[in-house]
Structure 1
Amino acid sequence: MSLASVLAFLGLALLALGWFWPRGLGLGAWLYLGAALADALSKGVFSGPAQPALVLGGLLALRGEALALRPKLSSLRRYLLALALVLGLFALKALPHPRGELPLFLTLFHAGAFLVAYLALAVGVGAGVMCALQDLRLRAHPERALGAPPLWSLRRLERGYLRVGYGAATLGLGSGMAWAFSYFGSPLSLDPKEVSAFLGWLLFTLYFLLEDRLRGRVRAGLLLLAYALLLFAFLGAPFLGSRHPSRLPP
């Protein structure tokens, strides 16, 4: 991987942590800008689409960091962060990716990150679905509140585990893109494993973006669909002729 690709990948990981750690936006933004500078020094200024995407993503992330102390504009901050993440993924696709052997530590990091993600998201999604459905039930029958688990307890479980799981999934997805750099020459392709994992991550990103507006069955359905896509990447894609090394033999 080139220096620009490494910086862009690290910036993407820090921006993903920015959903819960505001300082991650600033650090990720500067890594984006550093990646754009490294690419410009090696290939020329604005010699490809990756540089404008990294510059724009970095500036959007810096603006989002400036809004961290203004709670009333939290929706705008999340929107800017989501745009910066998408621009970073596009830049990783556009940056040069020479083939080569994949280091063992990256393989172990990738597998470990997704293991943590699956475990944490299983708890977080379960608590989130219970919280959303229980909120619906208690709105219709408030008298049942005494015999039901407290909503604040479920919400605390949901937030804590979803944050850990989303961060781990982002690191796993990013390291998987680096894996694809080496094995296939492209970080993203129409492979069932890659597509399902990426769509699951996008839906979790959408969930955090719209978290304050989602209620009831829509909230529960979005969580379940996102986790189902990640599970399909693990359990279903190996049967569909995936190019991933974990595919099952025919």
Structure 2
Amino acid sequence: MSPANLLALGGVVVLALGLFWPRVLHLGALLYLGAALADALAKGVFSGPAQPALLLGGLLALRGESLLQRPWLAPLRRYLLLLALLLGFFALKALSHPGGAHPLSLSLLHGGAFLVAYLALAVGVGAGVMCALQDLRLRRSPEKAVRSAPLWSLRRLERGYLRVGYLAATLGLGSGMAWAWGYFGSPLALDPKELSAFLGWLSLTFYFLLEERLRGLSRAGLLLLAYALLLFAFLGAPFLGSRHPSRLPF
């Protein structure tokens, strides 16, 4: 992996952390800008679409961080962060991707990260769905919600486990893209396993961005959709002709 690839990949992971800890947005922006500079030094200024994407994504992340002192503009900050993340993935797609074997540590990181993600999201999604249904009961029939688990307890479980699962999934997806550079020749291939994992991660990202506005069935539905896509990447995609190295032998 070239320095530009490593910096861009690090920027995507750090900006994903920025969903929960906005103070790290400046670090993600600096990684984006560093990746653009490294690519410019290696190939020339604006020699491809990756450099403008990284530059724009870094500036959007910096602008998003500048809105931290204005809590009423939190939706705008999250929107800018989503754009920066998508631009980062586009840049990773546009950068050159030298092939070659990857070290065992990368495979262990990739598999371990997704193992943690599946375990944490299983608890977080379950608690989140229960929380959404309990909230719906409290709004419609408060007397029926008395015997159910307290809303604050479910919410605490949901937040803790979903954050761990999302960050682990981001790390697994990023390391998987590094793996795909050598295996597919591109970090984002139209492979069932990789595509469903990316869509599951994107659904979780939308959930955190829209968390304050989601209620009831829409909240539970988005959570279940995200986890179903990630489970499909693990259990269903190998049967659809996935070229991923972990495909089943039958």
What range is the shorter-chain TM-score in?
over 0.9
Deviates more, 1:139-148 or 1:84-93: 139-148
CA contact (8 A) 2:5 2:92 kept: yes
1:145 Cα offset (Å): 3.9
| Partner SS for 1:208 | helix
User: Matched residues in 2 for 1:33 and 1:40: separation?
Assistant: 10
Aligned twin of 1:235: 235
What is the TM-score normalised by the length of structure 1?
0.98
Alignment-mate amino acid for residue 154 of structure 2: L
For the residues of structure 1 that align with 2:70 and 2:149, how far apart are their CA atoms?
32
2:150 corresponds to which letter in structure 1? P
Report the Cα distance in structure 1 between the residues aligned to 2:149 and 2:235, rounded to whole angstroms.
32
SS state at 1:100 partner: coil
> How many Å separate the matches in 1 of 2:188 and 2:202?
14
Structure 2 distance, partners of 1:125, 1:70, is 30
- The answer as to whether partners of 2:137 and 2:145 remain within 8 angstroms in 1 is no
Residue matched to 1:148? 148
1-structure distance, mates of 2:119, 2:67: 32
Aligned to 1:62: 62
Structure 1 residue 136, shift from structure 2 partner: 0.7
2:104 equivalent in structure 1: 104
Partner of 1:39: 39
Q: Percent same amino acid among aligned pairs?
A: 80
Q: Which residue of 1 aligns with 2:48?
A: 48
Equivalent residues in 2 for 1:138-177 (5 A)? 138-177=138-177
Structure-2-length-normalised TM-score: 0.98
State the Cα distance separating 1:148 from its structure 2 match: 2.0
The one-letter code sitting in structure 2 at the alignment partner of 1:196 is: S
In structure 2, the residue matched to 1:86 is 86
Give the whole-Å Cα distance in 1 for the aligned partners of 2:82 and 2:122.
23
Deviations 1:6-29 (A, max 9, x none): 000001100000000112211100
| Aligned match of 2:205 | 205
Aligned amino acid, residue 192 of structure 2: P
CA displacement at 1:137 relative to structure 2: 1.0
Cα distance, 1:175 vs structure 2: 0.5
Distance 2:237 2:87 in 1: 27
Query: Secondary structure in 1 aligned to 2:21?
Result: coil
Post-superposition offset of 1:114: 0.4
Query: Which residue of structure 2 lines up, in the alignment, with residue 127 of structure 1?
Result: 127
One-letter code of the match for 2:215?
Answer: R
Which residue is equivalent to 2:77?
Answer: 77
In the alignment, the residues of structure 2 paired with residue 248 and residue 146 of structure 1 have an alpha-carbon distance, to the nearest angstrom, of 47
Deviation per CA, 1:121-147, whole angstroms, max 9, x where unpaired? 111111110011111111111123432
Q: Which amino acid aligns with 1:69?
A: Q
Q: State the shift of 1:184 in Å.
A: 1.5
How many Å separate the matches in 2 of 1:248 and 1:241?
10
1-side partners of 2:126 and 2:10: how far apart? 30
Given residue 226 of structure 1, which amino acid in structure 2 is its aligned partner? A
Aligned-partner Cα distance in 1 for 2:17–2:115? 18
Q: Distance in 1 between matches of 2:19 and 2:116?
A: 18
Per-residue deviation at 1:214?
0.7
Which residue of structure 1 aligns with residue 184 of structure 2?
184
Report the counterpart of residue 115 of structure 2 in structure 1: 115
Structure 2 distance, partners of 1:232, 1:66, is 38
Q: Which runs of 5+ in 1 are unaligned?
A: none
Contact 2:29 2:57 in 1 (8 A): yes
The corresponding residue for 1:2 is 2
Give aligned pairs, total. Answer: 250
Gaps of 5+ in 2: none
Over the aligned positions, Cα root-mean-square deviation in angstroms equals: 0.9
Q: Once structures 1 and 2 are overlaid, which stretch shifts more, 141-150 or 163-172?
A: 141-150
Return the alpha-carbon distance in structure 2 between the equivalents of residues 69 and 173 of structure 1: 31
The 1-side partners of 2:66 and 2:115 are apart by 34
Q: CA deviation at 1:241?
A: 1.3
